[in-house]
Amino acid sequence: MFHRVRNHWRQFRPYERQRRKYKKIYPKRDIRQDKQYFIPREEPVFTCATNDIFDCAEQEVVALLSKHNKVKTLDHEVEHLRKKFFHTKQVQDGLAALLIQVPRAVLAQLQMDQHPHGYHDKHARLFELIDFNDTLTEVVIAMHDDDRRRFDSRVKEAADRVCRRVGAPCFSNEQWEAIVRGLSREIAIYVAARDSGFDTAMGSRTQDALGVDVQIRDPESGRYINIDSKTPSAFRHRLEVLVDEGRLTTQELLAADERSYAVVHNGHGGRTVTLILLCILPDLFGEVKDFEFVDPTPMRDMLNRLIRDHGLTDGMFGVS
């Protein structure tokens, strides 16, 4: 009796009457009938109000940050934009992929600077920096000369605004200058080789970890070299480390110092590469300006010499 009375009184509850009315007016849809009308999904096309690729890339990133406004939630967007740039090869897509990576790259750089001898997620942070540098390099290489000249200042300004939006620290002027200056040399080598008719490939993430900045191949002979570009001070320091490790003799150091390059073998286990440590000596190769040599002729001549004397034919050119 109590059970029937309890159920009987349910019909007088306002919520129950409203729910029953809703179910009567709006019966459950059979979504199986809708499937026949579905079409393949498409990514929404971002439309920019200006013709400036730097402004458009920043606006696209700002639109994404309205949904993901914290560094820890950006990983999905980072991978999405990197893959998009990989497929489209459009400079604007590359700039967007670069800007979205800046906050976590800054934090990774701070970790590296504060803990140079290692920390618990060192490898993950190292690869974040490698990905950032790779994206920057690929974007600059894909740019026209006019955009390349504006890259340094325009991207630094946009990067700072992106970092502030997510509450992350910004690259200091010194950190940014060091990144750009360091990558300028390998980009300049790539551009000089490409414009001289060589086949070129930037080192992959795995190759970069082994020291390979760029691979250059002679299309006629098929021989190629792996290059790790160094400043004069970094070149000399690296040679001294190799001597301390017993991988070079003092006589070999002196010979390498005189000719501005050394041939070394990097890696361990089943993953090794033969590498050319190349000293980018201003007196030898001239000035690098806006990511290219003012006169690419000396670099072209050096590449011909290195491929002739040390070229590889192991089929690993362009292989990750």
pLDDT value of position 19: 59
User: End of a domain among 171, 205, 226?
Assistant: 171
193, 305: one domain: yes
- Distances in Å between the Cα of 171 and the Cα atoms of 74, 201, 223, 233, 307 are 18, 28, 40, 24, 38
pLDDT value of position 271: 79
Ranges of the chain with pLDDT below 50: 1
Residue range(s) defining the domain that contains residue 128: 52-171
Tell me how far apart the alpha carbons of residues 304 and 309 are, in angstroms, rounded to a whole number. 9
188, 318: one domain: yes
CA torsion 218-219-224-226 (nearest 10°) is 80
208, 291: one domain: yes
193, 314: one domain: yes
134, 202: one domain: no
pTM: 0.78
158, 205: one domain: no
187, 311: one domain: yes
* Count of domains for the chain: 2
User: End of a domain among 145, 171, 197?
Assistant: 171
Is 45 within a domain? no
3-state secondary structure 123-162: HHHHHHHHHHHHHHHHHHHHCCHHHHHHHHHHHHHHHHHH
